[in-house]
Structure formats: structure tokens, C-alpha cells
Amino acid sequence: MAMELGFLTIYWRDMVRYVRYKSLLFSSLLQPALWLAFFGIAMSSNFDRFTSGIPVPPGGYSIGYLTFMGAGMIAMTTLFTSLYGGIIFLFDKNWGLMREILASPLPRTHIIVGVGLSGMTKSFIQVVIITLFGLLLGVRFFAGYSPLQVAIAVVGIFAFVGIFSLGFLFF
């Protein structure tokens, strides 16, 4: 039974490392929110004023710059969190921890799965924080959606973030 859940040990170790490094945790959660708050709000009024005269093509939707930037912040944060998650392998190798992990009876796939799940979890945490903070700032991610459509969109966002984060984590 313990061998079947060995990836949870790697997952837990990586998540504890993420929470213990307060500066990393603080910057990874606060930096995207600050970008959204300062640059998004400051620039959205200018961009919205300039684009208000441009007609929207039939079947298209007009979105504000703050909403555009909110979606971009989600993608950018997922990208950099995933790339940093893959660097953990290099840190473990340089510090000699990878040798210890590879010497354990843990299957190699469990190491990959554990690191992948922790990277995906970190991305999910950041997406939730950015989305909630963006909604407080006035980002209209789900303008005109019914509650069912919002639920489907949220599942779609998490599916995108999960696939995107795993792709770049293992890159």
C-alpha cells in the first residue's frame, strides 16, 4: 500500500518546501495581484478609451483591458510557476537529494507524478487567488454567463491550467 502512494511523499515534500519559503510564497501570490492592480487598473482606462470607437465585429464580444490582462496574468503565472517547478529537479540534483530519492525503493514514475501534481497544485492556488483578486478589482471573466456556463468555464480554466502547467513543468 505504501508503495502505491509513494508519489504523495514527493508531492507533500514539495508543497511543504513551497509553504516554508515565505519569500517565495509571498512573491508568487502577491506579484501577479500587484501587476493586475497597478498596471491593469492604470492602463485599462486608457485602452478602453482608445478602443471604444472601434466597432465590434458581428458575433464578437468586447472585453475590457483589465479582463484581458487578468486572463494573461493567469497564463503567465501558470507558465512561470511550472517552469520553476521543473527546476526543483536541478536543485535536488545539485544538493544530492535526487541521489537519495533514486536510491529509495520508490518507483521513478512516482517522483515525476509527485512533482507534477505539486506544480499543478501551486498553479491552481495561484489561479484561484488571481481570479478572486481580479473579480474584486472589476475583472469581468464571466460577463453574461449563466451559473451553469460559469461552472463549465471554471472547469475549463482548471483543465487548461492543469494541462498547461504539466506541459511546461515537464518541458
CA angle 97, 82, 11 (to 5 degrees): 45
The yes-or-no verdict on residue 136 having pLDDT over 80 is: yes
Which among 76, 58, 164, 73 is positioned nearest to 116, based on CA atoms?
A: 164
Supply the pTM of this predicted model.
0.83
Share of the chain above pLDDT 70, in %: 98
Which pLDDT value is given to residue 17?
86
Q: What is the mean pLDDT of the chain?
A: 85
Where does the pLDDT of residue 3 fall: very low under 50, low under 70, confident under 90, or very high at 90 and above? low
With the CA atoms of 119, 125, 131 and 136 taken in that order, what torsion angle do they form, in degrees rounded to the nearest 10?
Answer: -150
